[in-house]
Amino acid sequence: MIKLKKALIDQFNRDAEEVRNSLAGARLLQAQLDILGYNKTLNMLRFDEMADYSIFDPTPYKKRCTKVEIGNALTYMILKDIPAQYYLNLIQKDEYALFTESIRPPSKDDIYEFQKRLDPQAVEEFVDNIARKLHKHGVIDLNIVFIDGHVIAYFGKASVSKIRHATRGRIMKAIEMFSANDIKGNPIIFVLKSDGSNIKQVIPELVKRLQRIFGKQTVKIVVFDRGGFKTELFIELKDELGVDFISLAVRNPKIIKEVAEIIKNKLELFKPLHFDSEERKLVKDVADVTLTVKGIGFRCGIIRDLKTGKINIQVTSIKKDEKNCKTEMTGIAKIYSKHWNQEDAFEQEKNGMGLDKHARYDLIQIPNAAAENKKNKLSKQIKSKDNEMNSIRGEISTLEKILKTKQDVNISSIKKRMGGELKKIETEKKALMEKIEKIDDDEAFYKLNTTASTFKIANINYLFSAHNSLFNRIKNKYSNLDFNRAKIMVYQHGGSEKLINNRLIITLDPFRNKTIHNFVVELCDELNKESPRSPKGHIMEFHVKDWKPHR
């Protein structure tokens, strides 16, 4: 251990002997992240001076954690399936230190302190800057943007806000991520909501934000599911924001009746959409029609599944152009079918990169709203009792004045009865005051920290895009390797490192699979052409040891 620590210190301060790294393969991903501007984007994350210097260890011999170190710490957690930062205190520090290139890598307290100092506006700018970088490097395509919502369930014991989970069909503690992705499923921007906002409200917000980042003419078409079906939204998108849309229509009785009439009487409108190559027969067709919704006619595509009889209705603002075949309803239907790319991308981020775990663990304690509401209700009841008592006291005072001038048995009995009522109300008031005293103001009540979660998810999105662009550099059967398999096959592959004249020489061990071995050799050659830099700024140079048949 002492020798390894000495080697680590040498590694970061001067030319050193070779050091083993069990995550040498992950340097490929680090290199691609640097090429896409990851470290520069992290350094652009805005802090005020006081917040920036709050990430200090008071011990004079230990240095401050930088933003790049924090970002690479999160990358390490994702690669090693570490669900939350408090587990960092339980891991072997040597591998972690090598990966982040830090003698003292960020601890859980460093990351907690960092997250506490994050400014919501600065984190939103960070997400926007990521989108700009990815667009600049050609990773994302902005012509067609898919917008969808994903509920990230929270299973902790804390009291947090609840959202309806459509898939599970119940209301549960959760946070909702509304994401804008390109046609291939690459994330562009996103926003987290914990207040029950629906997709109809969020779509214009995300479109305006995209236009602010990239310009009004960049986004041409917005695609979303039937959750966003609303005529007012359609008009806002087309007339105010100047973008076309494709959506699924809701199944209201009027639309269903119109569609049934068309299927019954106008079969000639249907055109082939999809042939089954194995069965050699048509399995889907589509009709281009106009349907009326709230008195407004919309261009719609009626898609029939000839196997199951299921019918889907797509609504769009794209006008038919005889000179452009992509405006045919068959082309529009194929665009919407790419909606599954978005679901696949989210599943990869969720299952392969632990997106849901990293998004839900950070909570902020807030004033106990439930206790405050109870107190307010009881206070109103006490005030009402005070008013009743004042009214009765006034009446008793009037009766006493009458009794001074004239003795009356009836008036005396009324006064006595009112005195009894007064005592009863005083007893009720006392009981209410005791209830207030019993309310626990210190009972923990929380809300999900969307700022910290946004920062983490932004890093996951960057990582996901870097992974896709890395494996798409070379077109072969491994070009679409998903992140989860890549973690096992490539990113957790071992090798050795040596620092020579500010160049970090990374030599990967040979891979057992010859095809993936040759693929990684080509990948290394491609990366070496761009001279990527490590988190510490050393130029990274990749090599792979010669392949030998496995015995």
pLDDT the model gives residue 542: 96
User: What are the C-alpha distances in Å from 243 to residues 167, 195, 208, 404, 464?
Assistant: 29, 27, 11, 85, 27
Query: In which domain, by residue range, is 499 found?
Result: 1-24+493-551
Q: pLDDT by residue (tens digit) across 243-301?
A: 999 999 887 888 888 888 888 888 888 888 887 777 778 888 888 888 887 778 889 99
Q: In this predicted structure, what is the pLDDT of residue 202?
A: 93
Is the pLDDT reported for residue 450 higher than 90? no
**Greater confidence, 414 or 4?**
414
Within 8 A by CB and 6+ apart from 406, the residues are: none
Average pLDDT over residues 204-230: 92
Residues 285 and 267 in one domain: yes
On whether both 373 and 354 belong to a single domain, the answer is no
How many CB atoms within 10 Å of residue 357? 17
In a domain, 31, yes or no: no
Burial (CB count <10 Å: 0-12, 13-18, 19+), residue 423: exposed
Q: Is 483 helix (H, G, I), strand (E, B) or coil?
A: helix
Tell whether 405 is covered by a domain. Answer: yes
Q: Considering the chain, what is the average pLDDT of its residues?
A: 83
Q: CB burial class (10 A; 0-12, 13-18, 19+) of residue 407?
A: exposed
Residue 7 has pLDDT above 70, yes or no: no
Q: Which of 347, 363, 379 is the last residue of a domain?
A: 363
Reply yes or no on whether the pLDDT at 457 is more than 70.
yes
**pTM for the predicted model, two decimal places:** 0.78
The percentage of residues in the chain with a pLDDT greater than 70, rounded to a whole number, is: 86
What would the pLDDT profile of 10-52 be if each residue is shown by its tens digit? 555 545 578 888 999 999 999 999 999 999 999 888 764 444 4
Same domain, residue pair 353 and 384: no
Rounded to an integer, the average pLDDT of 508-534 is: 92
67/285 Cα distance (integer angstroms): 53
pLDDT in tens, 146-183: 999 888 877 766 666 777 776 677 788 788 899 999 99
Domain boundary among 363, 394, 427: 363
Tell the residue number behind the tokens 């000839």, with chain if given.
Answer: 306
Instruction: Say if residue 155 is in the same domain as residue 224.
Output: yes
pLDDT class of 464 with cuts at 50, 70, 90: very high
pLDDT at 15: 54
Tally of domains within the chain: 3
412/530 same-domain check: no
- Are 346 and 221 in a shared domain? yes
Q: Give the mean pLDDT of 384-412.
A: 79
CA angle 162, 168, 172 (to 5 degrees): 15
Determine the distance from the C-alpha atom of residue 457 to the mean position of all C-alpha atoms in its chain, rounded to a whole number.
5
Burial of 108 (0-12, 13-18, 19+ CB in 10 A): middle
349 and 374: one domain? no
What was the pLDDT predicted at 16?
59
Rounded to a whole number of angstroms, the distance between the first and last alpha carbons of the chain is 32
Does the residue 122 lie in any domain? no
Mean pLDDT, rounded, for 47-60: 43
pLDDT at 412 over 80: no
Last residue of a domain, one of 348, 363, 378: 363
Q: How many H-runs (helices) and E-runs (strands) does the chain carry?
A: 20, 16
Dist CA 386 CA 187 (whole Å): 60
Distance of alpha carbon 145 from alpha carbon 232, whole angstroms: 20
pLDDT of residue 323: 63
Same domain, 245 and 353: yes
pLDDT number for residue 440: 61
* Beta carbons of 302 and 259 less than 8 angstroms apart: yes
Segment 360-378 shows an average pLDDT of 70
Higher pLDDT, 535 or 46: 535
Contact status, residue 38 vs residue 508, Cβ threshold 8 Å? no
Long-range contacts of range 309-314, CB-CB < 8 Å, 24 or more positions apart?
311/259, 311/263, 312/248, 313/248, 313/249, 313/251, 313/255, 313/259, 314/246, 314/247, 314/248, 314/249
Would residue 548 count as lying in a domain? yes
